[in-house]
Structure 1
Amino acid sequence: MTHQDCTFLLTLPVELVHMIFDNLSDFTIICSFRQVCTRLNMIMDTYPPYQKLAAIRANTPPIDYGEVQHLINALKHNTALAKVILSGHCIGVDGAKRFADILRINKTIITLDLICAEINEEGAKHLAFPLLDNTTLTTLDLSSNAIRNSGAYHLACALRKNSTLTALFLDNAEIEKPGIAYLAGALRNSTTLTTLDLGHNDMQDEGAQYLADALRNNTTLTTLNLEINRIGNLGAQYLTGALQNNTYSMQRLMTLDLGLNDIRDEGVEHLIVALRENRTLTTLTLEWFYVEQNLKNRLNNLIKCNKKT
């Protein structure tokens, strides 16, 4: 919206401005009018939908750099928004850096969704720093960004000190075994993270071993996604060792996704042995196409027993 448009709005009664707002998206209202002047701020503050606004989602077409700037400026002073969803909008490294600045001062955002936003490892580094001290953000989704091993390292460092993040999504983030090792090290002693999505990366059996070692000590994680990670029977064996450990610890893992990996009969046999002792896992996803029917039935029966307990 142009400066002339904003100036024109200032001449109208508040009720009429609110009627104009009724025909605009939440994103447009926040990016175009917030922090333009004191009077427009007051008009927005009395606009009922804005008072109740808890989430902001950028719609298509993709937002440009100027709109990112407007949104970030608005968030500096916003005390209502709890969710910011910018999936598919290419904010880049500079946008990530500016969102990091917001996380240092904003006390209301609990969910930040930056899926497929062209944030690479440098962007992840910027976002990781405020997580060291941020006490409000509970969900961070950086899926489909090139986070890679370097970005995973910085996020892991943040996780070691952060005490509020409960869900971290890094699906399709180009993370390999070294990056998985960093994240597993942080997961080992995490007391808040309940959901970790590492699907569609490249951890292989070695990465599965790192996570299995972490799970032996972790007592809070309930959901773990490891689909499409080139995990084979050996990786399944490592993970089942951690699942068996459930009997002797406070482990809480309930959902494990191993779909579209290369786990076959031998790996399923290991899972069956683990689930004879494990009593918390209630959802297990596998690539059943490669598994004998008899093994499928045995494993599914054990899962059903866990659901009943």
Structure 2
Amino acid sequence: MANETVSNFITLPVELVYRILDHQSNFTIVCSMRNTFSTLDFAYNEIQEVEAQQLAGALRHNTTLTTLYLQHNQIGYVGAQYFGDALRYNTTLTSLHLWGNEIGDIGAQHLADGLRYNSALTTLNLQKNQIGDVGAERLGDALQHNTTLIILDLSENQIGHIGAQPLSNALRQNTSLTTLHLQYNQIGHVGAQYIGDTLKYNTTLTTLHLWGNKIGDVGAEHLADGLRHNTTLTTLHLGENQIGYIGAQHLGDTLKHNTTLTSLHLWGNEIGDIGVQYFDDGLRQNKTLITLNLQHNQIRDIGAQHLADALQHNTTLTSLNLWGNQIGNVGAQYLTEGLQHNTTLNRFNVLENEIEDDALLEINELIERNGRAESYNF
């Protein structure tokens, strides 16, 4: 017995591994094999506080796990406290997904405390966790000290404009975060103002998700003002934000000056034909935007004419989405004429408009001519 060797799961035959695992609980496996797995997925497992304590305890000493999925469980704020404590000591976990766990402000505070001392985590998903402005404030404070977090998802919480302020202030000092999800957080135009002001100073954020926040024309103006001075943001999502032609005017004007934004998503707003006119002016001068999403924006034939004019002069846009507007055959003819002089657009969607098949076919042929075409019109 003294010469007996002990095999770990990495060296055992896979059939034997399966037999062993079939007789063990998930948590027994994690706690006893803490230096074996690199990814664990416990989503939708009805994990509660006790199990969360076991998992978090294993994380304190684990040296291999990099990704942990715990979405849609029931860990609550107590479970979040355990994971917050674990983050102080763990040095390998890079991605933690906790969305849908009802951790609330108290749980967010515990995780924020852990982030202040953590130097490994790069992705934290806290979507749909009933986090309000108090939790957002603590997370903002953590961002001022943390230097490794790259992606933070706070979508579908209740941060509001009050919570948007400390997060925005933190981004003035933070030097690592590149992607921020704040969609469906009721930040309104006041919250958009805080974020817009921050964009003037932040030099690391590249992707910002703000759809479904009711920022309106005023909020769009604040963001547009920030973009005029920003040199790093490449992707901006502003869908479902009640932006009309006035907000479109500010965003279109910004396109004349901004030199880094490559993707702008404005689906589900109220831009209309008048608003599209301002994008005509902006796209004529812009040299960086490659993706523009204007689906469901009440655009008709006149708006299509403005976009067609822009396509004749723009040399960088490769993807244009006009799905679900009210463009008819007349507008399709304008677009066809614009595409005849355009050599860069190769992704074009005009489905769910009022365009007949013959006109769609002609548009498709022009898109295919530009190479690497991905047309969605049939």
TM-score range, shorter chain: 0.7 to 0.9
Structure 2: how far apart are the matches of 1:264 and 1:62? 44
Structure 2 Cα separation of the partners of residues 228 and 291 of structure 1: 15
Bigger helix share: 1
| TM-score, length of structure 1 as denominator length | 0.82
- 2:270 equivalent to 1:262: yes
Deviations 1:160-186 (A, max 9, x none): 111111111110000111111111111
Letter in 2 for 1:84: L
Does residue 126 (structure 1) correspond to residue 138 (structure 2)? The answer is: yes
- 1:206 alignment partner in structure 2: 218
**Structure ID, larger Rg:** 2
Partner of 1:283: 291
Alignment size in residue pairs: 282
Shift of 1:271: 0.3
2:228 aligned with 1:216: yes
CA–CA distance in structure 1, aligned partners of residues 222 and 201 of structure 2: 13
Is 1:32 matched with 2:54?
yes
Compared CA separation, residues 245 and 111, structure 1 to 2 (3 A)? same
Residue pairs, 1:174-193, within 5 angstroms: 174-193=186-205
Equivalent residue number for residue 95 of structure 1:
107
Unaligned runs of at least 5 residues, structure 1: 1-12, 46-50
Query: What residue number does 1:197 align with?
Result: 209
Q: Deviations over 1:20-61 (max 9, x none)?
A: 59862635888415547xxx977x55xxxxx2x211110444
- Tell me if 1:73 matches 2:95: no
Letter paired with 1:271: F
Q: What secondary structure, in the 3-state scheme, does the structure 2 residue paired with 1:88 have? A: coil
Q: Is the 8 A contact 1:272 1:302 kept in 2?
A: no
Given that 1:30 and 1:74 are in contact with CA atoms closer than 8 Å, whether structure 2 keeps it comes out as no
1:56 to 51, 68, 74: 68
Equivalent-residue separation in structure 2 for 1:41 and 1:155 (angstroms) = 28
Instruction: Quote the Cα distance in structure 2 between the aligned partners of 1:270 and 1:184.
Output: 20
Q: What residue is the counterpart of 1:153 in the other structure?
A: 165
SS across alignment from 1:256: strand
Q: Tell me which residue corresponds to 1:86.
A: 98
Counterpart AA for 1:239: L
Contact 1:107 1:136 in 2 (8 A): yes
* Counterpart AA for 1:306: L
Structure 2 Cα separation of the partners of residues 33 and 179 of structure 1: 36
Counterpart of 2:125, as a letter, is D
- Partner of 1:280: helix, strand, or coil? coil
Quick one: structure 1 residues 126 and 234, their matched pair in 2 at CA, closer, same or farther if it must change by over 3 Å?
same
What is the aligned partner in structure 2 of residue 104 from structure 1?
A: 116
Contact 1:256 1:283 in 2 (8 A): yes
Q: Percent identity?
A: 37
CA RMSD in angstroms comes to 2.7
Q: Which has the higher contact order (CA 8 A, sep 6+)?
A: 1
Q: Quick one: distance in 2 between partners of 1:222 and 1:289?
A: 22
Task: Compute the TM-score of the two structures, normalised by the length of structure 2.
Answer: 0.68
Instruction: Name the counterpart of 1:306.
Output: 317
Deviation at residue 125 of structure 1 after TM alignment: 0.4
Report the Cα distance in structure 2 between the residues aligned to 1:122 and 1:102, rounded to whole angstroms: 16
Cα distance in 2 between the residues matched to 1:200 and 1:301: 32
* Aligned-partner Cα distance in 1 for 2:177–2:265: 21
- Name the amino acid aligned to 2:178: T
* Equivalence map 1:247-258=2 (5 Å): 251-258=259-266
| Contact 2:84-2:115 within 8 A present in 1 as well | no
Q: Is 1:225 aligned to 2:237, yes or no?
A: yes
